[in-house]
Amino acid sequence: MPYFDVAIVGAGAAGLFCAAQAGQRGLKVLLLDHASRVAEKIRISGGGRCNFTNRHLDSRTGHQHYLGQNPQFARSALSRFTPQNFIALVQQNGIAFHEKHKGQLFADHSAQDIIAMLLDACDLAGVQRWQPCTIEKIEAGNTASRYRLHTARGIVQAHNLVVATGGLSIPKIGATDLGYRIAKQFGLPVTAQRPGLVPLRFAGEDWAPYASLAGLALPVRIHTGAKKQGIAFDGDLLFTHRGLSGPAILQISSYWQPGQRLRIDLLPQLDVAAALQEAKATSKKLLPNVLAQWLPTRLADAWCQRHSAWQGPVNQCSDKALAQLADTLSGWQLTPSGTEGYAKAEVTVGGIDTRALSQQSMEAKNQPGLFFIGEVVDITGWLGGYNFQWAWASAHACAQALEAPPT
Ligand SMILES: Cc1cc2nc3c(=O)[nH]c(=O)nc-3n(C[C@H](O)[C@H](O)[C@H](O)COP(=O)(O)OP(=O)(O)OC[C@H]3O[C@@H](n4cnc5c(N)ncnc54)[C@H](O)[C@@H]3O)c2cc1C
């Protein structure tokens, strides 16, 4: 029966990075994945250019860009493997990259360059890769080889088992719940999962006026949650056929709970009440045309359809109606009917309960030699390269802690 110091299940971002580093440390590593294509999420990430990290992630406060039951858990790994560490690897491999905005770094040419870098590192480190290879069953073994994996290519023994199976998003490219099942099998708690970084859906009469605005985008500020515990994001909002998307919506979706209301400031850079009063004093334009100075025309028209008082000339509009208009524009309140689900979600919020893991090594506290890394853990990053940085950092923390059995 083949023996490995480490078996890693899942050859995505975290699994590949962990395998290469563990191999470099002289460990005998097997990396298994049931999908036929390697690292599909890296390939499709960042519009095909992979937003591989975020330069603004500060190792002391980095956990603020993450959610989960205890985002502080991520601090240790994030501070020991920083964006600068990953950038150095990208540079050593001659991969050109650029910053788009807000510290987000993308490969100039293609996400494939990042995948090639990880695969080359695995090859150089002597990692064995079995792909596609399904895992049928995992059993606890003996002291020297603590895990036995029943796979489509036979049974293998391993001293350490690293679970890097990611979350549930995009099942059609290989996402499964295997990681959560392995956790439960070995007695680790798992927090409830839900889609994150996902477009939101809206339905019903309230939504009808906006259903025809698909394709229209504008910068907004968006809030959800009660005032004190609430959170807000600035970014672009995109109208879709079934609701709203765009960076600001994706960010807020990770925090949104069913039934909760969103509040959107459609003109965050403008004192709308003052601007409307000024327009009233100086202009005879129809209100939709006034709004069209600041908003896309189709949205300005749809907005003014909401109230008969908002359709006439601005100089004839009552102060009360103008104040109401200003309030609705800076505090549009709406309740999503749901999300677009895992088929469209970039990440899964929730996962292996961090209380069951060591934050130094990612090892299960109750199960020697069992590690969980990457998105399968209850740590979810914001949009903008934070999820890959968590995958690299948690993989690095694990790889440094892995040991061969004593001889
Ligand atoms: C469309 C899209 C765009 C994204 N863009 C970005 C971005 O630009 N920047 C960013 O930071 N994050 C981005 N993300 C999120 C990022 O891709 C993930 O957070 C990251 O890939 C997680 O790494 P991981 O290794 O934990 O899991 P994954 O990369 O998902 O890898 C998990 C691996 O486990 C394998 N696996 C699953 N189940 C089994 C099983 N039963 N048996 C064997 N193998 C199994 C899968 O086939 C897969 O290869 C994006 C996600 C999506 C969906």
- CATH number of the domain within which 306 lies: 2.40.30.10
Query: For ligand 1, is residue 103 a contact (CB within 6 Å)?
Result: no
Q: What is the CATH number of the domain that holds 185?
A: 3.50.50.60
Same domain, 356 and 393: yes
Number of structural domains found in the chain: 2
Same domain, 273 and 394: no
Same domain, 363 and 270: no
Query: For ligand 1, is residue 346 a contact (CB within 6 Å)?
Result: yes
Same domain, 70 and 27: yes
Domain end point (choices 320, 339, 358): 339
Query: For ligand 1, is residue 9 a contact (CB within 6 Å)?
Result: yes
Residue 407 is assigned to a structural domain of this protein: no
Residue 406 is assigned to a structural domain of this protein: no
Same domain, 184 and 91: yes
Same domain, 36 and 124: yes
pLDDT in tens, 124-171: 999 999 999 999 999 998 887 899 999 999 999 999 999 999 999 999
Considering only CA atoms, which residue is closest to atom 51 of ligand 1? 346
Query: For ligand 1, is residue 45 a contact (CB within 6 Å)?
Result: yes
Domain end point (choices 322, 339, 356): 339
Gap from CA of 347 to ligand 1 centroid (Å)? 8
Query: For ligand 1, is residue 10 a contact (CB within 6 Å)?
Result: yes
Tell me the pTM: 0.96
Quote the domain boundaries for residue 138.
Answer: 3-194+347-401
Evaluate if residue 205 carries a pLDDT over 90. no
Same domain, 274 and 377: no
Per-residue pLDDT at 218: 97
Query: For ligand 1, is residue 347 a contact (CB within 6 Å)?
Result: yes
Same domain, 227 and 257: yes
Query: For ligand 1, is residue 176 a contact (CB within 6 Å)?
Result: yes
Evaluate if residue 220 carries a pLDDT over 80. yes
Same domain, 139 and 23: yes
Evaluate if residue 388 carries a pLDDT over 80. yes
Q: Which of 42, 129, 137, 165 to mutate to test the pocket of ligand 1 (most atoms within 8 A of CB)?
A: 165
Query: For ligand 1, is residue 115 a contact (CB within 6 Å)?
Result: no
Per-residue pLDDT at 142: 82
Domain end point (choices 308, 339, 370): 339
Q: Which of 31, 44, 45 to mutate to test the pocket of ligand 1 (most atoms within 8 A of CB)?
A: 45
Same domain, 75 and 36: yes
Per-residue pLDDT at 227: 67
Considering only CA atoms, which residue is closest to atom 17 of ligand 1? 41
Per-residue pLDDT at 346: 98
Gap from CA of 45 to ligand 1 centroid (Å)? 9
pLDDT in tens, 260-307: 999 999 999 999 999 999 999 999 999 999 999 999 999 999 999 989
* Spatial distance between the Cα atoms of 73 and 63, rounded to a whole number of angstroms: 8
Average pLDDT, the chain: 96
Same domain, 211 and 141: no
Residue 316 is assigned to a structural domain of this protein: yes
Residue 122 is assigned to a structural domain of this protein: yes
Considering only CA atoms, which residue is closest to atom 23 of ligand 1? 13
